[in-house]
Structure 1
Amino acid sequence: MSEKLQKVLARAGHGSRREIEAKIEAGRVSVDGKIATLGDRVEIVPGLKIRIDGHLISVKESAEQICRVLAYYKPEGELCTRNDPEGRPTVFDRLPKLRGARWIAVGRLDVNTCGLLLFTTDGELANRLMHPSREVEREYAVRVFGQIDDDKLRQL
């Protein structure tokens, strides 16, 4: 069964779908020696050669991928982003390194917030957990300074 090239490469941990699309549009991705174009589909078969910037990429069928889920306690001061141009610490700096996959955050917390975050290697699972249409219940505990009356509570 064929899949979109950017989905295959994102699942293999080589960037988000948008990042992969940008690499494809820039002519940095080839399939079996031919420069890929956006919208190309591939079928994972023995001997398939996908390259990014000339480097051979290892890909697997989605059925062969292991879905990992990780619960991580984010302390205050860490960002929920992969890279920070200012060099500040990110949650991804502290996660276990993976080969052939990448961690996807299920939601995010502000830099000055601490709490539990979920990470997975399965983009579809992350989307199902985050999308409002699935109505996954979330619960937050907050600490406030001062008094909260009913009017302020409604505003929250």
Structure 2
Amino acid sequence: MTKKTPPKKKSGNPKRSDTDVSAPDAPAKDEKLQKVLARAGLGSRREMEAWINEGRVTLDGRTAIVGDRVSDLSEIEVDGRVLSRASAESVRCLLYHKPTAEVCTRKDPEGRRTVFDRLPKVKGGRWISIGRLDYNTSGLLLFTTDGELANALMHPSAVIEREYLVRVMGEWDTETLKRLIAGVELDDGFARFTDIQDGGGDGINHWFYVVLMEGRNREVRRLWESQGLTVSRLKRVRYGEVFIPS
């Protein structure tokens, strides 16, 4: 009786034939156009929607519309200039110690110096301020090239603390501080400090550290003014977990 030899097992990977089909590549990232533009530092998402509606943006050779979605392969032009996707993906942040006598706008009709005058140039993007400080307020100001990040850090839902060192002039007592913690009604709605710490001082001028959870216009000054006191110095020392260097 003849003994049958079992078939040899094939070793290694099977060879592809000419008819084999490769697995498809992973789809390119798909995002809303205005989000990509905002991340490139051109402005907020709302501003980018306005630019699109004004016809300033083209997508793959055609005039873009709000709601268009783009992939990594899309070509975007803004005011006739091709958007560098590298700049849209690269996020930069900057901590700035603002002095008094500077405004937080890009251009001032009165010719005053702006905070943007001193910032380093950004290739393919621009700096966006995370909140503002008024002309006579100094201290910590954050900037980023990412409009989405800036909006996220400024939005009330982020619940981010802002801490200030403030010198007030006038008479006060513990009841004054209690009222400011409890909250008062200002012209634009209810406002309060979430914390007040004594910073020392003699005579008519006294220092305090105060904390807010929002950044409304001149809110620190208006809260103290509601109690008959005048703010003579104001400096932001903290934004969230970021402290101004000593």
Q: Residue 98 of structure 2 contacts residue 139 of structure 2 at CA under 8 Å; is this kept in 1?
A: yes
| C-alpha displacement of 1:95 | 1.1
Conservation of the 8 A alpha-carbon contact between 2:40 and 2:147: no
User: Take 2:122 and 2:149, find their aligned partners in 1: how far apart are those partners?
Assistant: 18
Cross-structure match for 1:53: 79
Bigger drift between 78-87 and 112-121 goes to 78-87
Structure with bigger helix share is 1
SS of the aligned residue for 2:37 comes to helix
Query: Is the contact between residue 11 and residue 102 of structure 1 (CA under 8 Å) also seen in structure 2?
Result: no
4+ runs deviating over 4 angstroms = none
Q: How well do the aligned residues superpose, as a CA RMSD in angstroms?
A: 2.3
Give the corresponding residue for 2:71.
43
Separation in structure 2 between the aligned mates of residue 141 and residue 10 of structure 1, nearest angstrom: 33
Determine the C-alpha separation between the residues in 1 that align with 2:33 and 2:112. 32
2:157 maps to 133
Q: Which has the larger displacement, 16-25 or 67-76?
A: 16-25
State the Cα distance separating 1:151 from its structure 2 match. 4.2
**1:76 to 1:19, Cα distance in 2 relative to 1, 3 A:** same
How many Å separate the matches in 1 of 2:94 and 2:33? 27
Contact in 2 for aligned 1:59/1:100 (Cα 8 Å): no
- 1:120–1:126 CA contact under 8 A, matched in 2: yes
> 1:10-25 residue pairs with structure 2 within 5 A?
10-25=38-53
Q: How does 1:90-101 map to 2 (within 5 A)?
A: 90-101=114-125
Distance 1:53 1:124 in 2: 21
User: What amino acid is aligned across from residue 13 of structure 1 in structure 2?
Assistant: G
- Structure exhibiting the larger radius of gyration computed from Cα positions: 2
3-state secondary structure, aligned to 1:139: strand
Q: Which moved more, 1:142-151 or 1:90-99?
A: 142-151
Q: Distance in 1 between the 2:128 and 2:87 partners?
A: 19
1:3 counterpart residue number: 31
Deviations 1:57-93 (A, max 9, x none): 222486xx33322111111111122233333222112
- The answer to whether structure 1 residue 112 and structure 2 residue 112 are counterparts is no
Match of 1:83 among 66, 89, 107: 107
Residues 32, 67 of structure 2: 8 Å contact kept: yes
Q: TM-score, normalised by structure 1?
A: 0.81
Mark the runs of 5 or more structure 1 residues left unpaired by the alignment: none
Pair 128,54 (structure 1): closer, same or farther in 2 beyond 3 Å? closer
Instruction: Tell me whether 12-21 or 67-76 shows the greater mean CA deviation.
Output: 12-21
Instruction: Call closer, same or farther: CA 1:44–1:85 in 2, change over 3 Å.
Output: farther
* Cα distance, 1:24–1:118 mapped onto 2, change above 3 Å: same
Cα distance in 2 between the residues matched to 1:80 and 1:92: 7
Q: Which amino acid aligns with 1:23?
A: W
Unaligned runs of 5+ in 2: 1-28, 181-222, 224-246
Q: Distance in 1 between matches of 2:87 and 2:93?
A: 19
Q: Which shows bigger deviation, 77-86 or 2-11?
A: 77-86
What is the distance in 2 between the residues matched to 1:19 and 1:70? 22
Q: How many residue pairs align between the two structures?
A: 152
